[in-house]
Amino acid sequence: MTEKTFTPKAKEIIHEWFVVDATDKVLGRLATEIARILKGKHKPIYATHADVGDHVIVINAEKVRVTGRKAEQKIYYRHTGYAGGIRSTSYSKLMADHPERILRKAVWGMLPHNTLGRSMFKKLRVYAGGEHRHEAQKPVSLDI
């Protein structure tokens, strides 16, 4: 008897929709659970080479918290692509201006940095407030 490795087919994959409320959740712990759902590791048909993950809608991203002194000390860096083009933004300024970018950046760092990771990342929707525009998809509330 030989064992066959299971490979999910594209027609077998069903992408579900979940809503996560980020109110008073710790940033890193929330991001790891979201990345796990986007990858599809919570499903029995998980395969590393296929996008079997689900869609995730995050609401209240402005109410996410960090532990310790990260609110004062954490710095986000980016580069413009030009020589000497390093730019930095503090956590508190980014939270005041674009709170959804903090969670998106945390989740992006936990996904594969290739074509598959980009397709997984497209299934993440983050909203600063408590409302979203994906009611037609009938998302299921997910308690993390």
* The pLDDT value given to residue 1: 72
Which segments within the chain are labelled E, that is strand?
17-21, 55-59, 75-79, 86-90, 124-126, 140-142
Helix, strand counts (H, E) of the chain: 5, 6
* The pLDDT value given to residue 35: 98
Token output for 97: 């201006």
Let me know if residue 138 belongs to a domain. Answer: yes
Reading the chain (144 residues) residue by residue, the pLDDT tens digits are 788 888 999 899 999 999 999 999 999 999 999 999 999 999 999 999 999 999 999 999 999 999 999 999 999 999 999 999 999 999 999 999 999 999 999 999 999 999 999 999 999 999 999 999 999 999 999 998
Let me know if residue 94 belongs to a domain. Answer: no
Task: State phi, psi for 21 to the nearest 5 degrees.
Answer: -95, 120
Query: Which structural domain, as residue segments, surrounds residue 56?
Result: 15-67+99-142
CATH number of 21's domain: 3.90.1180.10
Alpha helices (runs of H) in the chain, residue ranges in sequence order: 27-39, 70-73, 91-97, 99-108, 115-121
Let me know if residue 44 belongs to a domain. Answer: yes
Let me know if residue 80 belongs to a domain. Answer: no
* The pLDDT value given to residue 138: 97
Let me know if residue 46 belongs to a domain. Answer: yes
Total domains in the chain come to 1
Let me know if residue 74 belongs to a domain. Answer: no
* The pLDDT value given to residue 4: 85
Task: State how far the Cα of 17 lies from the Cα of 43, in Å rounded to an integer.
Answer: 14
Task: State how far the Cα of 5 lies from the Cα of 129, in Å rounded to an integer.
Answer: 44
pLDDT tens column, 56-86 = 999 999 999 999 999 999 999 999 999 999 9
Let me know if residue 104 belongs to a domain. Answer: yes
Let me know if residue 1 belongs to a domain. Answer: no
* The pLDDT value given to residue 29: 98
Residue 35 corresponds to which amino acid?
Answer: A
* The pLDDT value given to residue 3: 84
